[in-house]
Amino acid sequence: MLRIGLLGCGRIGQVHARSIGALGEARVTAVADAMPAAAGALAASTGAEVREVEAILSAPDIDAVVIGTPTDAHFGQIMGAAKAGKAIFCEKPVDMSVDNIRACMEAVSAAGVPFLTGFNRRFDPNFAALRARLKQGAIGAVELVSITSRDPAPPPVSYIERSGGLFRDMMIHDFDMARFLMGEEFVRLHAMGSALVDPAIGEAGDVDTAAVILTTASGRICQISNSRRAAYGYDQRIEVHGERGMLRAENQLETTVELATEAGFARDPAQHFFLERYEAAYLAEMRAFVEAVTSGSQPDPGIEDGLRAQMLADAATQSRQTGQPVDLPAA
Amino acid sequence: MLRIGLLGCGRIGQVHARSIGALGEARVTAVADAMPAAAGALAASTGAEVREVEAILSAPDIDAVVIGTPTDAHFGQIMGAAKAGKAIFCEKPVDMSVDNIRACMEAVSAAGVPFLTGFNRRFDPNFAALRARLKQGAIGAVELVSITSRDPAPPPVSYIERSGGLFRDMMIHDFDMARFLMGEEFVRLHAMGSALVDPAIGEAGDVDTAAVILTTASGRICQISNSRRAAYGYDQRIEVHGERGMLRAENQLETTVELATEAGFARDPAQHFFLERYEAAYLAEMRAFVEAVTSGSQPDPGIEDGLRAQMLADAATQSRQTGQPVDLPAA
Amino acid sequence: MLRIGLLGCGRIGQVHARSIGALGEARVTAVADAMPAAAGALAASTGAEVREVEAILSAPDIDAVVIGTPTDAHFGQIMGAAKAGKAIFCEKPVDMSVDNIRACMEAVSAAGVPFLTGFNRRFDPNFAALRARLKQGAIGAVELVSITSRDPAPPPVSYIERSGGLFRDMMIHDFDMARFLMGEEFVRLHAMGSALVDPAIGEAGDVDTAAVILTTASGRICQISNSRRAAYGYDQRIEVHGERGMLRAENQLETTVELATEAGFARDPAQHFFLERYEAAYLAEMRAFVEAVTSGSQPDPGIEDGLRAQMLADAATQSRQTGQPVDLPAA
Amino acid sequence: MLRIGLLGCGRIGQVHARSIGALGEARVTAVADAMPAAAGALAASTGAEVREVEAILSAPDIDAVVIGTPTDAHFGQIMGAAKAGKAIFCEKPVDMSVDNIRACMEAVSAAGVPFLTGFNRRFDPNFAALRARLKQGAIGAVELVSITSRDPAPPPVSYIERSGGLFRDMMIHDFDMARFLMGEEFVRLHAMGSALVDPAIGEAGDVDTAAVILTTASGRICQISNSRRAAYGYDQRIEVHGERGMLRAENQLETTVELATEAGFARDPAQHFFLERYEAAYLAEMRAFVEAVTSGSQPDPGIEDGLRAQMLADAATQSRQTGQPVDLPAA
């Protein structure tokens, strides 16, 4: 039974607590949150104790930490957990600074602790099944990856302002997915973006609609597009074109019901809420973490995946601002 | 170049004339119609001569007749054409009387002339492809056939009154399709029907909504349902369940466009008009006739298929009226 | 917090225990099973006590019983629970004997206890959404209901022999769904069936492939077909045709992944296992029971729905055996 | 009856001759081709005369010319036809040189003759319906256009070498479609491309896999991707994302048949051949030309559309070669 300390009891922390409860092979032993009420509520529903972060990091009855705190708290918690020899599950992004992530990588590596970066979409049953077939050679060599992500509605501008921008906050998921599907690092990137959904987003220096092209050393191409708004739900699609065909994963609609009338054939919107859309993914992600830690293997995606995605997000941010393509540095 | 005499210059006659023109291996040499204006118009557009029916039947420059006249004229024209040694393409139903169809069968057989019964749906590219895969064993032995046919809107009651009723006028196509897909004759049938779309149809002694179950000697089952109304277009679907899977053919929608909005995902209605829906089928049907006649082989479906379908329609009419199942006589 | 006694700790009992645990508003207080090991295991995972059935029925700390025992044990347990004033959730079929169900109805009615018959499919999110739109008038008056149910593979013949036959064991779900969708009782039914999947099923006096037509007093029509085998998964589809259009619910496939190759476009099989397919339905069903009991309202579907479905299953069994339609008695 | 001179009797010339024949409001009066056999064959099947190009351009019995000759012959023929006052239908690309197209524009404008550039895809019923709904405001303001085009298989390298490269030969259709859908000119473009399908294409200096991002002055974004190979058929999809939703058009599959087996649900490949895929588009395109000329209005897309698409293709070619984005000049 893996004993877990949960840092951060907000929405995502609650999701992870629920997953841990459903697994049966791990339990939440302690929780911490800057807001005592949040920590207390999650402690009550999980049977865990409320503790301070530092107490959790140094506790002998804690095997692993799940970090779901605000991004700027990650660095200190990762460094502390690594030093204390705890296995680490950290929500994305690992940190806004590539240098900080490198420092974490070194600490984690030196400590030899397992580390999983919370790119939940890799664990979505649809995307995971697509990736598995790709690996089995269903379409031969990959040539062109296309990723479409659209949120149902934009977040408040106050959120946008401290988010690091669309490329670091939203498209980072797609950069990780692109690497996951492509199987080869990107060497060059060009990003374009605009504030079309809400002018206030533009005034805050960010974009809400963006498209990026990336290429690898062998010439494979990836295109990603994002919008902060989709009237028809949370739009999450991937498509991979290869030498022998194409694999794609479509959206999950709310039900399978179809209505046919004079106007034609109508189906439901796509599932709207990310917690509903990725419910199975969050559970599978926690299972992968617990199994890796329990079996002594390295979880996947690891901290280097967090670093690579952040580097792509930084490069896209720069490319969009300068209007020029960016050559990607080696890791 | 097969020289064809076209009997009947109404809507279906015009369709056949167009098909003949598109084939290149046959031509309309003469046309006949009770309404001189109709005959004249079709003669003008095809370059054919207007003649009397009898003159066409006895003409040495006519190799084959295509019969698209009202049903009560079929019998005399078939008997005359058979006697004259002409190849015969006859619209369904061959005749409302099974006895008359038997008499035609004998005449056609005695004369040794090719005969095609115009069950156009067998030639629909979708249904023909489904049947071809069935024959190739894609799903193994057939166990359960389901056929759904719904017209976009009911015909006028004046048409209903002289139509022979839903089973003979509309479901006869489905009875033929059922035989085409099943590959074994039916031995028992039960029909239920109601006038739900238009009470006037019920007052005329007919039904507008109906369902039939049929079984074969080996126990295979077929279910057919019909409605005289479908808000979303001309609904034509078939499904065959077998030991190793299922084959089905869906409707053809007007376009491939999909609109996604807050309300969900919307596609077009099904193609509404039978001439649009079965345009390719009518052409393929005429090609099959011309090729069979030209090559000296027997067209398929033949006159016996017309007889069998009529017997099923008669039995369904009787079953619906008595409320009892009907055992089907040998042909 | 509703305190539940769970009778029967087999596969379905475990499903219900899991649902109760997930709801938060009820708990499993005691469990009983003829096999001590099964009871002990479920007690351990739920924190419940193992007790005898009689002890549960008479216990003051039990508010409701969930009956998931073999069908022949239902009668005594329902009578006992009603007498003890417990709310009752009973798996379908309530009993194989219509007379027994009537006796239970009287006892339940006399005791005034809430009763839910476990027709889980009514609670499937897809079917429930379809029914809700029907009720909202999305397609106007219902004219024709079509239900298709196919199991992935037949059960062992030993199961078939004590199952009551396909109509009572399998199609009973579809009879309930037909009533749920039609909103009017059926007055006449004709069933045909064959053993096509496995001759041993025929030798056991049962069928594995069947089709039924039913009509209501106002002439509405329903067609149901069943097969004990579907290569492509657990096939569960409904379609309702009405004056202004059609509503249908398709199967849930395993993932949304599509593979396009030279052979065409390929999607996954339908979900294979009924516990996976109806996972959400079982949870919603238990929620409906707990909410009805807690709020003092009558759960739906009630015991009369169990009776009506059983009567249709009996009639279909008789119709298939005699080859004749059956007029349905008033309840 | 519009009297047409057809220049070029190859594959595309034959398509146009067939369309003209089907329209009824125009006829092929004369044909010309560098290969006498080709001209003779098309003359025979259309009832036209074989003439020299110059004779057609100066003939008083010719109202319009349809130019389907090799691209390098277009310039002289357009200049000649404009001078002679003939209406002009010219296959894309108008010319490989933007300067030449400008010269043609001036000549056409000076002569006041109608001119249609043969961007057939605008006339595809699916894409045309999508565009019509866009214009009707179905999704509000356009924000992001995505276009995917993949040929079933690459052409021979000998063709590639004189094609002007992928951007001018293949993606030019998508550039026109992008302008058609966006409704605003593009101001900046970045193209990436690789030879992944066939190294010989790379050795010839061209690419076979490419992706382009374009932006407009108001910040709207378009992404286009091309591949010279698609195992599953001729892949032609468009998607437009806007403030109130998304419109997309999917591929047309060969039939509507679906096969369900243990492996899942399988549909046909996409239609493979461009003449089959765009059969209806070619007919609608010729109808639009004939109607515009007959009614004295300017056909759409005109010669400026040919120019704009060529400028985008040139810019993409340059961007791919330099690795830098290109700012687009005013027309």
* Claim to verify: residue C98 and residue C143 sit in the same structural domain: no
Task: Give domain status of residue B38, yes or no.
Answer: yes
Q: Residue A275 falls within a domain, yes or no? A: yes
Domain end, chosen from C89, C113, C137, is at: C113
Choose the final residue of a domain: D92, D113, D134.
D113
Q: State the smallest CA–CA distance between residue A233 and chain B in angstroms.
A: 7
DSSP letters of C148-182?
EEE-SSPPPHHHHHTTT-HHHHTHHHHHHHHHHHH
* Full DSSP string of B85-100: T-EEEEESPS-S-HHH
Residues of B in contact with C211 (CB under 8 A): 144, 213, 221, 223
Residue A291 placed within a domain: no
Query: CA B127, B132, B137: angle at the middle one, nearest 5?
Result: 125
More confident residue, C329 or B269: B269
How would residue A331 be classed by pLDDT, with cut points 50, 70 and 90? low
Return the CATH number at A32: 3.40.50.720
Phi, psi values for residue A30, rounded to 5° = -150, 150
Instruction: Tell me if A268 and B265 make a contact (CB, 8 A cut-off).
Output: yes
Cis peptide, bond prior to residue A93, ω within 30 of zero: yes
Which whole number is the average pLDDT over C122-141? 98
Chains in contact with B, counting 3 or more C-beta pairs less than 8 Å apart as contact: A, C, D
Size of interface A-B (CB pairs under 8 A): 53
Mean pLDDT of chain A: 96
What integer is the mean pLDDT of A18-41?
95
Cβ–Cβ of C143/B196 closer than 8 Å?
A: yes
Which residues from D are below 8 Å from C266, CB to CB? 263-267
For D163-186, the pLDDT digits (tens) are: 999 999 999 999 999 999 999 999
Q: What is the CATH number of the domain that holds C147?
A: 3.30.360.10
Q: How confident is the model at residue D272 (pLDDT cuts 50, 70, 90)?
A: confident
Q: Is the pLDDT confidence value at D331 over 60?
A: no
Among the listed residues D212, C84, D279, the one whose alpha carbon sits nearest the alpha carbon of residue A223: D212
Verify that B173 and B322 share a domain, yes or no: yes
- Integer Cα distance of C273 and B245 in angstroms: 17
**Which site among D135, D256, D278 would you substitute to test the B interface, given the most B Cβ atoms closer than 10 Å to its Cβ?**
D256
Inform me whether the pLDDT recorded for D330 exceeds 80.
Answer: no
Q: What mean pLDDT comes out for the span A38-46?
A: 95
Residues of C in contact with A248 (CB under 8 A): 257-258, 260
Q: Both C254 and C131 in a single domain?
A: yes
Q: If pLDDT is split at 50, 70 and 90, which confidence band does B257 have?
A: very high
Instruction: Estimate to the nearest angstrom the gap between the alpha carbon of D294 and the chain centroid.
Output: 23
Residues of B with CB under 8 A from a CB of A: 230-232, 253-254, 260-270
CB D174 within 8 A of CB D147: yes
Indicate the range of B314-318, C243-247, C271-275, D182-186 predicted with least confidence: C271-275
Domain shared by B205 and B103, yes or no: no
Q: Are residues C197 and C246 in the same domain?
A: yes
Asked if D75 and D204 sit in the same domain, the reply is no
Contacts of B105 (CB under 8 A, 6+ apart): B303, B304, B307
Percent of chain A with pLDDT over 90: 96
Strand order in the sheet with A26-32: A49-50, A26-32, A2-7, A64-67, A87-91, A115-118
CA distances from B112 to A204, B84, D126 (A): 87, 11, 48
Peptide bond into C269 cis (omega under 30): no
Q: What is the pLDDT of residue A24?
A: 82
Residue B70's pLDDT band (cuts 50, 70, 90):
very high
Q: Residue B62: CB partners within 8 Å, gap ≥ 6?
A: B3, B4, B5, B29, B30, B56, B86
Distance CA C326, CA C322 (A): 9
Question: Is D144 in Cβ contact with A241 (below 8 Å)?
Answer: no
Residue C228: closest C-alpha in chain B: B243
Task: Tell whether A296 is covered by a domain.
Answer: no
Chain C residues with a Cβ under 8 Å from any Cβ in chain A: 125-126, 129-130, 133, 138-139, 244-252, 254-262, 268
Q: How far apart are CA A120 and CA A118, in angstroms?
A: 5
By C-alpha distance, the chain A residue nearest C138 is A259
Residue of B nearest to A260 (CA): B232
CB contact under 8 A, A324 and D323: no
Closest in C251, C255, C259 to A256, CB measured = C251
Residues of A in contact with B260 (CB under 8 A): 230-232, 269-270
Statement: residue C331 has pLDDT above 70: no
Q: How many helices and strands (H and E) does chain B possess?
A: 13, 15
Q: Which amino acid is at B184?
A: E
Instruction: State yes or no: pLDDT of B331 exceeds 70.
Output: no
> By three-state DSSP, how is residue C213 classified?
strand
Q: Is C242 strand, coil or helix? A: strand
Tell me whether residues D267 and C265 touch, CB distance under 8 A: yes
pLDDT the model gives residue D275: 84
Which residue, among A302, A319, A254, has the nearest Cα to A87 in the 3D structure?
Answer: A302
Q: Is the pLDDT of residue A258 over 80?
A: yes
Using only C-alpha atoms, what is the Rg of chain B? 20
B300 and B293 Cβ atoms separated by less than 8 Å:
no
Is the four-CA dihedral A80, A83, A84, A86 of positive or negative sign? positive
Q: What is the mean predicted confidence (pLDDT) over D269-273?
A: 91
Take residue D153 and report the two structure tokens written for it.
Answer: 């298989």
Identify whether the C-beta of residue B265 lies closer than 8 Å to the C-beta of residue B259.
Answer: yes
| Residues of B whose CB is below 8 A from C150 | 241
Q: Answer yes or no: do A232 and D221 touch at CB < 8 A.
A: no
Does A255 fall in a domain? yes
Q: Do C247 and A255 touch (CB under 8 A)?
A: no
CB contact under 8 A, A263 and B269: yes
C271 and C141 co-located in one domain: yes
In angstroms and rounded to an integer, the radius of gyration of the C-alpha atoms of chain A is 20
Residues C150 and C267 in one domain: yes
In a domain, A286, yes or no: no
For D288-302, the DSSP string reads HHHHHHHHTPPPSS-
| Residue A213 C-alpha, separation from nearest chain D C-alpha, in angstroms | 7
- CA pair distance B90, C155, nearest whole angstrom: 50
> Are residues A99 and A132 both part of a single domain?
no
**Min Cα–Cα distance to chain A from B266, Å:** 4
Q: Is the pLDDT of residue C330 over 90?
A: no
Q: Are B210 and C225 a contacting pair at CB < 8 A?
A: no
- Per-residue pLDDT tens over the stretch A63-87: 999 999 999 999 999 999 999 999 9
Chain D residues with beta carbon closer than 8 angstroms to that of A210 = 221
How many contacts does B have with C, using Cβ atoms within 8 A? 117
Once rounded to an integer, what is the mean pLDDT over residues A51-73? 97
Of C113, C132, C164, the residue at which a domain comes to its end is C113
Against chain C, the chains showing at least 3 CB pairs within 8 Å are A, B, D
Mark whether A139 and A64 lie in a shared domain.
Answer: no
Cβ-based contacts of D243 with chain A (< 8 Å):
196-197, 229, 231
Distance from CA of A271 to the nearest CA of B (A): 10
The two beta strands, C49-50 and A142-150, are unpaired
Chain A residues in contact with B263 by the CB 8 A cut-off are 266, 269
Q: For D247, which of B126, B249, B257 is closest by C-beta distance?
A: B257
**In this predicted structure, what is the pLDDT of residue D24?**
82
Residues C48-91 pLDDT 10s: 999 999 999 999 999 999 999 999 999 999 999 999 999 999 99
At A126, the pLDDT band (50, 70, 90 cuts) reads very high
Distance CA A118, CA D258 (A): 39
User: From CA A34, how far away is CA A50, in angstroms rounded?
Assistant: 11
pLDDT in tens, B207-246: 999 999 999 999 999 999 999 999 999 999 999 999 999 9
pLDDT band at D276 (very low <50, low <70, confident <90, very high): confident
pLDDT of the residue at B197: 97
pLDDT score of A99 more than 90: yes
Q: Is residue C283 within 8 Å of residue C129, measured between CB atoms?
A: no
CA distances from A15 to A78, A283, A299, D260 (A): 20, 9, 19, 37
Burial class (CB in 10 A: 0-12, 13-18, 19+), D85: exposed
- Are the C-beta atoms of residues C77 and C52 closer than 8 Å to each other? no
Phi-psi region of B24 (alpha: psi -120 to 50; beta: other; left: phi over 0): left
Instruction: Verify whether the Cβ–Cβ distance C268 to D266 is below 8 Å.
Output: no
Q: How confident is the model at residue D273 (pLDDT cuts 50, 70, 90)?
A: confident
Give C220's contacts in chain B (Cβ within 8 Å).
194, 196
Mutate to test the interface with B, among D143, D181, D257, D283 (most CBs of B within 10 A): D257
Residue with tokens 């996954």: C268
Which domain does C95 fall in, by range? 2-113
Question: Are C106 and C137 found together in one domain?
Answer: no
Tens-digit pLDDT profile for residues C152-173: 999 999 999 999 999 999 999 9
pLDDT tens per residue, range B261-285? 999 999 999 998 888 889 999 999 9
Q: Do B266 and A264 touch (CB under 8 A)?
A: yes
Half-sphere exposure of B42 (CA within 13 A, CB side): 30
In a domain, B289, yes or no: no
Residue C191 has pLDDT above 60, yes or no: yes
Give A69-74's long-range contacts (Cβ < 8 A, gap of 24+): A69/A7, A69/A8, A69/A33, A69/A34, A70/A8, A71/A95, A71/A96, A71/A164, A72/A96, A73/A7, A73/A8
Coil, strand or helix at C313 = helix
Q: What is the ipTM of this complex?
A: 0.95
CA distance C129 to D155: 50
Nearest chain A residue (CA) to C266: A247
CB atoms within 10 A of CB D79: 18
Give which of A148, A273, A126 is closest to C256, Cα–Cα: A126
Q: How many CB atoms lie within 10 A of CB C203?
A: 11
Instruction: Report the C-alpha gap between A231 and D181 in whole angstroms.
Output: 19
Instruction: Provide the number of structural domains found in chain B.
Output: 2
If asked whether residues D164 and D83 sit together in one domain, one would say no
Distance from CA of C194 to the nearest CA of B (A): 5
Measured between beta carbons, the chain B residues lying within 8 angstroms of A267 are: 264-266
CB contact under 8 A, A232 and B269: no
Partner-chain contact C267 D265, CB within 8 Å? yes
What local confidence, expressed as pLDDT, does residue C325 receive?
98
CB B135 within 8 A of CB B300: no
C249 belongs to a structural domain: yes
